[in-house]
Chains A and B, each alone.
Chain A
Amino acid sequence: VFSWGSFHNAAPAVKKSRVFYGSLEEKERERLSSEAASSAASGSDAVKAGIEAGNINISSGETLEMEERVSERQQEALAAFERRRRARQITVSTDDAEVKAGLRALGEPITLFGEGPADRRERLRSVLSVVGPDALKKSRRDEERAKRSQDECQQTWYHEGSASLKDARLWLAKYSLPRAMRRLEAARAQRDVTEATRTIRQQELHKSLRNLNNFCSQIGDDRPISFCHFSADSKMLATASWSGLCKLWSVPDCNLIRTLRGHNTNVGAVVFRPQAGVSLDQSDVNLASCAADGSVKLWNLESDEPVADIEGHSERVSRVSWHPSGRFLGTTSYDRSWRLWDLEVQEEILHQEGHSKGVHDIHFHPDGSLAATGGLDSFGRVWDLRTGRCVVFLEGHLKEIYSLHFSPNGYHLATGSGDNTCKVWELRNRKCLYTVPAHQNLLSAVRFQPTDGHFLLTGAYDNTAKVWSHPGWTPLKTLAGHEGKVMGVDVSPDGKLIATCSYDRTFKLWLSE
């Protein structure tokens, strides 16, 4: 702003338009002369008379405070201008529902008689221009904070489950304890094997793994294949697709045996029951699958329709897993919980919370005593199925845990995460044994060698799967060949074949020559 007055002096006067109607000299002369005459006659008298009559008022020095009142008014006007300016700058949602919610949050009537959305919006804007635009945000944030702090300060608490839960737990204890004993005995026996023999075996294994090669590749569906799983007898492979179809393939010739139709959306996992194909009847429940719409279905090996549906999930179910006994089924849900279903009583016996975000994967301990869950909150939890307590808290990953797998030796647990690492945890002393910087994208699947856990298989979204020695964690072989991200991997129970399935709609089998 520059000074106005200083230039005004120097500036030439603005041109005024004039109209000239001829000379006024005569008239003016007449007027002046008459004026002079009248003033001379009755100038002061008339004034005095006027004053006396009260027609002429001359103040005696006192003044009225006009200025202040004027400046007040000016102030008000300026404030109004300022407010209007501010209102112009406030952005208000064009969504009528949001506008109403905003008005309600500010304690205003959400609508007036005859008011349309545009008027309402203007009203909200004018209100906000008075109270400040932060008022709305602040209230929302306060709410969130309150909620979160409530969550955080939440203490561990218990509630009593159903009676069938206790029965199941007792059954689980009786099932798992002898298995643990047998496993430990076997481990002790294994220790007696001489160092040299062990080294030779290891070297042979490494040599065979180094020779892993693509054995066959099969287009599994017309949508990405999200999961693959071998049956216990290594004769079948089940694949799940985003088209909602699950398929059974014969191994190793990769012929389609059956298509399982039942899901409508992306199938997250399809898993063989541990005894399927070995001791289980064909008509019995042999498979379980889950989908993104929260449906979980059970299948047998005879029909392509589901045997049973498990209902109860409202959100996405990412994985299902069978308890080694085959009696229980675990499912993970994005509603921040995982559940345990008892097939004998045919009910949900446990709804387990604990993760602060959705749970993605679950795997049961080979003994049947523990279950490990990993979630989007990047923490893993190991639960004791007998007591129902969280016994180990796996903290270390930076991003979501997408896969967990117990080693058959019973005390190693591998987790694959979105931070491109795979961590191997030692359960006996509850710490992270090693961090494998495994891939260049998130790890979608982790598997141990099912026979004796001497190698680790990881699949990732960088289109490769890798085989790592365990322990040692040296990259023995990179299984490259997929054109899309690898979404699932599996090792056949006899340890000979490796299957990978991918976003590129194929699954591949890998075999050591």
Chain B
Amino acid sequence: MSDTGRMEELRPWVERTVKKVLGFSEPTVVTAALHCVGKGLDKRKTIDQLRPFLDDSAGGFVERLFEALEESRSARGNKGGGEKHRKRDLKVKAPEPGDGTVAKRKRVPRFEEVEEPEVIPGPPSESPGMLTKMQIKQMMEAATKQIEERKKQLMSRLLGTPAAAAASGGSSIAPSQAASFMNDAIEKARKAAELQARIQSQLAMKPGILGALGNTGPHNLVALANLHAMGIAPPKVEAKEVNKPTPLILDDKGRTVDASGKEVELTHRMPTLKANIRAVKREQFRQQLKEKPGEDLESTSYFDQRVFITPAQRPRRAFKFHDQGRFEKIAQRIRTKAQLERLQCEIAQAAKKTGIQASTKLALIAPKKEIGEGEVPHIEWWDSFILTPDTKFEGMELFGVTNLVEHPAQISPPVDTDKPVTLGVYLTKKEQKKLRRQTRREGQKEVQEKVRLGLMPPPEPKVRISNLMRVLGTEAVQDPTKVEAHVRAQMAKRQKAHEEANAARKLTAEQRKEKKVKKLKEDLINGVHVSVYRIRNLQNPAKKFKVEANANQLYLTGTVVLHRDVNLVVVEGGPKSQKKFKKLMLHRIKWEEHNSKRDDPDGDDDTKRNNKCWLIWEGTTKERSFGEMKFKQCPTENMAREHFKKHGTEHYWDLALSKSVLDGCTDD
């Protein structure tokens, strides 16, 4: 749409606003205002421009003007986007004029710390559907008012020109002048009609509005437009009432009646042929065709909407300045933050000096439930054995003090470490070879002996390609092919026997698997090795997976408790698996994460950046305390402690928690 066209559109609103502000219409102000808007000036400048016309009320006026501008823009946006655009508007409620701002919002802000709301939210608007309806109403009203005004003006001019002329200087108006006036008036009337036509076309381009207006159909609209053209205010009832469903009232005969009791013919949907429907439609279409040209001829006889007219020159792109003081504000905010931090640091320092913090922290980790001191007994139970209750020390009636020496039953320790540790016998390569040579020689000797004693048939002579002439001389000469085939068969047989023997020695796939598992599942008779790790942040699913998968593969049992700063990993198993798991936790996993841009800014906390894993404790226990590796999210400390207490290992938790508290103490 051309720039001037837009201005024309705005004109009625501007006029209305001017009238509201001043109490009367003033075309100069309107023109000036439109001029300002057309130039794309901002509010302040517009105010400056309009001050000579409007004095004090300039501010208020400009405010309203811009509101109106905003409204018109949004209206245009709706219209331009068509159905699709409107749908999106339903979702995105913010009154954005075009796509430009949306793109702008995606821009990465230069200041990450201080988030400036990019879009200053406008006045709270109603739902978009409502908005358009209201706009329609406004547009209509404005148009009718304008037309009436114009008419009045025209009339007053026609009537009052002589008087005005007389008043102006007493001189009479020449007929030519009058004619020019007349021409003027006619010109204006034509313009008004054109305007109407434009509004009309605007309305026509909004099928949604058509829907909102109800099923009045194109006839109705056309009639409305005609009414506008004739300058008669259209009846405003339809727009309001069509939305409401008409009450369904049935009389005693079951017919539908309206409020007054008149019978109402409801549209009945009768099954009919497609051909009939088409015929009706064709008829309607023809009627439309018949009517349209007549209506169009009046206004847009030379206007082809399909032709897109490019403006003569490209509109100058306006500068997009930041609001004044925006960066000042951001800087101020950063400064304040830094100052606050410095202040906190100072306070912490002071607190540390005086020892307040350490004590409070220690109080924090002091046992919640003080170990019940209990009553101080009158006498310790071991003393009460030798002391009858009512004895005085002076008397010393001692009981049970004898010269007997006790030999209590000796109980063997829970783990038997008495077994002598035997090292495997490992032979050198040379020794291995020697041993093999000897055993093979002995085996061969045995076979020879057996053959000699006739316990075993002598073995077939071993033939190779190289020795076949020597072994099978004549036959080889007589039938070399047969002999070679025989030799080759024997060689193949030997090879096969060798390979089969190897294969027989080999473990089957299952056995191999079992062997592997057996190696991993270590002997836990001498106690279960336990290690406890503390991690500052264990939210990353990849890392969680690594921990769990490795524990399961190493046949480690245990638990993982997720708590804010204390993520505890407890694993139990054999010493070898523990060694491997320790390497995983302390070396292989890189705990600290430098968050990428994809991460949301609030996920970027200190624990993630300075994430770390500590080995809190490792040692041995008699039995496994946990089952299969499980994760548990514990929002509170008590919950975590309860979880461990359930398995009889609350001391792991206590240790980790107090360490984390004390670490925090030293960090500050």
Contacts and interface: CB of A to CB of B under 8 A. Distances in A.
Interface of A: 2, 4, 7-8, 10-15, 74, 77-78, 81, 84-85, 88, 148, 151-152, 154-163, 165-166, 169-170, 173-174, 176-178, 180-181, 184, 187-188, 191, 199, 202-203, 206-207, 210, 336, 350-357, 369-370, 376-379, 381, 384, 386-391, 398-399, 410-411, 419-421, 427-428, 433-440, 469, 471-476
A12 B453 contact: no
Given A14-B471, A15-B472, A437-B652, A151 B410 contact: yes
22 contacts: A2-B493, A74-B453, A78-B455, A81-B446, A152-B410, A152-B412, A156-B406, A156-B407, A156-B409, A173-B396, A177-B387, A180-B383, A181-B393, A184-B376, A203-B359, A353-B407, A369-B380, A377-B411, A419-B620, A437-B617, A475-B655, A475-B659
A427 to B, nearest CB: 8
Interface string B472-485: 11110001001100
Given A12-B472, A170-B398, A386-B386, A377 B413 contact: yes
A115 to B, nearest CB: 24
Contact of A77 (B380, B442, B453, B457): B453
Contacts of B617: 420, 437-440
B362 interface: yes
Interface in B232-279: none
B147 to A, nearest CB: 88
Given A11-B486, A437-B617, A203 B363 contact: yes
B355 A207 contact: yes
Interface in B141-181: none
Interface residues of B, number: 85
Given A14-B461, A357-B413, A377-B411, A398 B620 contact: yes
Contacts of A475: 655, 658-659, 662
B12 interface: no
Interface of B: 355, 358-359, 362-363, 365-367, 370-371, 373-374, 376-383, 385-387, 393, 396, 398, 400-415, 417, 439, 442, 446, 449-450, 453-455, 457, 459-461, 471-475, 479, 482-483, 486, 490, 493, 497, 527, 532, 615-622, 651-652, 654-655, 658-659, 662, 665
Nearest to A11: B486
Contacts of A78: 450, 455
B382 A12 contact: no
A141 to B, nearest CB: 12
Contacts of B415: 378, 398-399
B461 A399 contact: no
Nearest to B446: A81
A114 B414 CA distance: 51
Nearest to B374: A428
Nearest to B665: A210
A159 B393 contact: no
B573 to A, nearest CB: 15
B158 to A, nearest CB: 100
Given A11-B460, A78-B455, A476-B362, 13 more contacts: A13-B475, A152-B409, A156-B408, A156-B409, A158-B407, A199-B363, A210-B362, A352-B405, A354-B408, A354-B410, A384-B385, A387-B401, A433-B371
A336 to B, nearest CB: 8
A398 B527 contact: yes
B527 A162 contact: no
A370 B622 CA distance: 29
A2 B413 contact: no
Contacts of A169: 401-403
The 10 closest A-B pairs by CB, nearest first: A420-B619, A12-B475, A166-B403, A474-B658, A437-B617, A356-B410, A377-B413, A15-B473, A203-B359, A161-B403
Contacts of A436: 651, 655
Contacts of B482: 12
B454 to A, nearest CB: 8
A437 B380 CA distance: 29
B497 to A, nearest CB: 7
A347 B174 CA distance: 155
Residue of B365, B382, B475 most packed against chain A (CB within 10 A): B382
Contacts of A202: 366
A369 B386 CA distance: 11
A191 B619 CA distance: 37
A180 B379 contact: yes
A161 B404 contact: yes
A363 B619 CA distance: 25
Contacts of B373: 191
A173 B398 contact: yes
A347 B571 CA distance: 52
Contacts of B386: 173, 384, 386-387
B444 to A, nearest CB: 13
A198 to B, nearest CB: 10
Contacts of B359: 203, 206-207
Residue of B401, B403, B618, B662 most packed against chain A (CB within 10 A): B403
B265 to A, nearest CB: 90
Contacts of A159: 404-405, 407
A411 B378 CA distance: 13
B413 A356 contact: yes
A206 B616 CA distance: 21
Contacts of B367: 471-472
Contact of A419 (B355, B457, B621): B621
B382 A369 contact: yes
Contacts of A398: 414-415, 527, 620-622
A437 B616 contact: yes
Nearest to A384: B382
A148 B410 CA distance: 10
A356 B393 contact: no
B405 A165 contact: yes
A440 B531 CA distance: 9
Contacts of A410: 380
Contacts of B371: 433, 471
Contacts of B363: 199, 203
B385 A387 contact: yes
A500 B355 CA distance: 27
Contacts of A199: 363
Given A15-B472, A148-B412, A159-B404, A85 B446 contact: yes
B382 A160 contact: no
Nearest to A377: B413
B540 to A, nearest CB: 27
B651 A161 contact: no
A54 to B, nearest CB: 33
A370 B378 CA distance: 18
A388 B404 contact: yes
Contacts of A81: 446, 449-450
A188 to B, nearest CB: 5
Residue of B355, B359, B406, B483 most packed against chain A (CB within 10 A): B406
B114 to A, nearest CB: 39
A354 B411 CA distance: 8
A180 B383 CA distance: 8
A148 to B, nearest CB: 7
Given A15-B473, A184-B379, A210-B358, A390 B405 contact: no
Contacts of B412: 148, 151-152, 356, 377
Nearest to A4: B457
Nearest to A206: B362
A170 B400 CA distance: 10
Contacts of A390: 406, 408
A354 B407 contact: yes
Contacts of A388: 402, 404-406
Contacts of B654: 473-474
A184 B380 contact: yes
Contacts of A386: 386, 398, 400-401
A398 B396 CA distance: 41
A14 B462 CA distance: 12
A237 to B, nearest CB: 29
Contact of B655 (A15, A389, A427, A437): A437
